[in-house]
Structure 1
Amino acid sequence: MKILHVTDSFHSGTATAIEQYAGLTPEHDHLLLANNARGAAAPMERCPGLFVIDEELPASPWAAVAAVRDAVRRHQPDVVHAHSSFGGAYVRIAAALDRLTPGRTAAPVVYTPHSFAFERDDVPTWKRRVFRGMEKSLLPLTTVGAPCARYEGELMKDLGHLLPGDVPVLVVPNALTEDHPVVPGSWSPTIPQTVGVVSRVTPQRDPAFFAATARLIRAARPDTRFVWIGDDDGKDPALGAVLADAGVEVTGWLTGEALRSRIASLSLVLHTARWDGFPMSVLEARRIGVPLLVRDIPALRECPATARFSVPEDAAAKAVSILDSGTDPAFWDGVDREHSPERQRALLADVYERAVV
């Protein structure tokens, strides 16, 4: 088959996931139509040879819809796999227009949100309702839903409540392939002990939460250092100031070996997101072996209860305990099995088969 991947968020975890989908199913030809219009950073470099076609998605929404329709007409993919909320909207609006245009055929649509926009809590309630209404109205144009985690699957199924038809939803859990450059068990913490976040500096990742946690940990262990591995997206520079005021080092964008070695040097990773899908950074920390604590949000309820925190005081107390012992007390085996490349490949193959059938 020919699979056309479309996203306006080709960066960070979404880009990693798309490349892994292509790498895990080499029996298909994978085409890419992408940009990174949702962020200030340039799109990530493509893995050489992974996509037989690699084209730029326009930043303008209506131009993006037109580009999707044009790519479907020219390349005639068997499946269009839409990634991210805006990418999902462009693809499904394009499919609706193709259905209404004489002589045109709409390709089957697989949709992976990588975190629904209506889960954002940094926007007004009315805007979240608009996002949810859009997702609900576009769901019937989806051939197969392929969320990346259990909670995202529950949200997608709930969108279909009281709608005509039945859109199948198969969770394709995020995973790291065996050839992922992160070296298993490469954790090598440095002195002094350092607590870090691996992410963009955005409202979603809640820098203020990490700043408050850092102050509490420092009160108990004054020699601890704090680092945010990433940079802002150019939309709210004040977030970086919040971290600076708390004595948190912000590294800027790191990639490749520089990024992996910096994560491996940490004593502890905190994931402070206010909402999420299932982040690749969690899986990367697991593979490296660095102790990990995550925020107790619905998307991460798959993680062990002992590894979840709800407020800065809880995060700081658990962090100090791990720093004192130098080990991760949580039992992560269930998460590791759920998010394995073998399961991801099998479920992805099932999704594409259902889409064309």
Structure 2
Amino acid sequence: MNSEKADNKKVCYVITLPDLGGAQSHVYEIMAGMKQYGYEAVLLVGKRGWLTEKADELGIRTYVIESMAREISPVKDLRAIYELRSILLQEKPSLVHCHSSKAGIVGRIAARLCNIPNVFTAHGWAFTDGVQPGKRFLYRNIENLVGYITDKVICVSEYDLALGRKYLPAHADKMVAIHNCIPDVTTNLVRDWDKAEKREFLNCIVVARFTQQKRNIEIMYIVREILDSGKNIKVTFVGDGPEFEKATLVADNLQLGENVVFLGARTDVAELLPNFDVFLLLSNWEGFPISIIEAMRAGLPIIASDVGGVKEAVKDGVNGYLVHKNDTDLVGILSSLSENYEIKAQFGVQGRRDYQQYFAVRNMLEKVEFVYRCILRK
């Protein structure tokens, strides 16, 4: 039996939603990258979508558990645990790797019921700063309980590692920080600042869903203020979400016209990024946004909220600017950048260097595989 477990390198990846996003991109890169280390991947997800399509392209077996919904529902959650347990008993993996809060809970419970070791990646704790107090209290207590049946917790930033150790001290020794990393792109997908057009306006891109987490609607008021000051700016939003329609109404009410563009959800972000001058991301809370790493990879300067692990990628005044949650200086920052081509180029080139040194995908894969080996050796 021990020999059989040692030879088995099958990992079941459990995540709630398949929609294109940071956590889903991360799972895709892990599933694809672990193959080089001899691991077989199986995907368990709440419904079909972008991630299941990518899994199909990789030839990865996929199970859809419709009862594994994002909202808390005791009946559905118990059903999801039962269905997950049945699949795990059938697949007999050596390890279960859970992602996102809901899948992280039901997936770890199902793994323990099958006596299979598990690891949980926290893509930003559900009890992080900025989340509503009631939800923070609930999820902190749930994570504390589930922590007792968890073998290892991967935090995607040093910030989240410190937060987890602070609020979940009983499980501090199980936690490790591994930054989100992504594969490189060809040079034609990196902005060439020597040849880039010197525009008379600041051309910004925002890659973020329209949710309570993101401050996309606030950006529109900032655009209006900059335009009223006599400066010119254009912001393109990539992403959808529950507040998308509200955002389009706000843009109409502010009479932003062609100065704000909505592209909706896109799968060609890497191709879009080099066409812009600045990457902008305002958030109420974050774990460690992959969208920022994508922008650094493309050679763009970053302007982002100083929340979560953002400062571990964005160095203020070096490859971009950090904005405090209620910072009123953002209008000034954007206005000054519109007139300073050299600073934009300097920040963009440095961001590209930082990506290559710290956030290339090989760094993440080596560290995750080491976590797998440590668990399986037990």
TM bin, normalised by shorter chain, reads 0.7 to 0.9
Distance 1:43 1:190 in 2: 38
Secondary structure (helix, strand or coil) at the match of 2:32 reads: helix
- Residue type of the alignment partner of 2:362: E
Gap regions ≥5 residues in structure 2: 1-8, 70-75
Change beyond 3 A, Cα 1:157–1:180: farther
Is residue 139–residue 159 contact of structure 1 (8 Å, CA) maintained in 2?
A: no
Deviation at 1:90, TM superposition (A): 1.1
Report Cα offsets for 1:208-250 as digits up to 9, x if no partner: 331232223323454322221112x236743443344342322
What is the aligned counterpart of 2:23 among 5, 14, 19?
14
Gap regions ≥5 residues in structure 1: 99-104
What is the aligned counterpart of 1:178 among 181, 184, 206?
184
What is the aligned counterpart of 2:328 among 287, 304, 313?
313
What is the aligned counterpart of 2:156 among 148, 151, 164?
148
Distance 1:55 1:251 in 2: 31
Deviation at 1:325, TM superposition (A): 1.6
What is residue 262 of structure 1 aligned with on the other side?
Answer: 272
What is residue 50 of structure 1 aligned with on the other side?
Answer: 58
Report Cα offsets for 1:152-188 as digits up to 9, x if no partner: 2222222431x2x664222221111136899334675
What is residue 242 of structure 1 aligned with on the other side?
Answer: 250
What is residue 281 of structure 2 aligned with on the other side?
Answer: 271
Distance 1:179 1:54 in 2: 28
Deviation at 1:267, TM superposition (A): 1.9
Deviation at 1:61, TM superposition (A): 2.5
> Once structures 1 and 2 are overlaid, which stretch shifts more, 27-36 or 53-62?
53-62
**Percent same amino acid at aligned positions?**
19
Is residue 207–residue 243 contact of structure 1 (8 Å, CA) maintained in 2?
A: no
What is residue 297 of structure 1 aligned with on the other side?
Answer: 307
Change beyond 3 A, Cα 1:184–1:57: farther
Q: CA RMSD in A?
A: 2.7
Secondary structure (helix, strand or coil) at the match of 1:211 reads: helix
Change beyond 3 A, Cα 1:151–1:328: farther
Secondary structure (helix, strand or coil) at the match of 1:61 reads: helix
Change beyond 3 A, Cα 1:297–1:42: same
Is residue 160–residue 308 contact of structure 2 (8 Å, CA) maintained in 1?
A: no
What TM-score do you get using the length of structure 1 for normalisation?
Answer: 0.85
Secondary structure (helix, strand or coil) at the match of 2:147 reads: helix
What TM-score do you get using the length of structure 2 for normalisation?
Answer: 0.81
- Residue type of the alignment partner of 1:61: D
Report Cα offsets for 1:107-134 as digits up to 9, x if no partner: 11111121122226353x1222111111
What is residue 116 of structure 2 aligned with on the other side?
Answer: 107
What is residue 102 of structure 1 aligned with on the other side?
Answer: none
Is residue 210–residue 242 contact of structure 2 (8 Å, CA) maintained in 1?
A: no
What is residue 356 of structure 1 aligned with on the other side?
Answer: 376
Change beyond 3 A, Cα 1:309–1:109: same
Deviation at 1:190, TM superposition (A): 8.4
Change beyond 3 A, Cα 1:119–1:108: same
Is residue 88–residue 111 contact of structure 2 (8 Å, CA) maintained in 1?
A: no
What is the aligned counterpart of 2:96 among 80, 93, 117?
80
Higher relative contact order (CA 8 A, sep 6+): 1
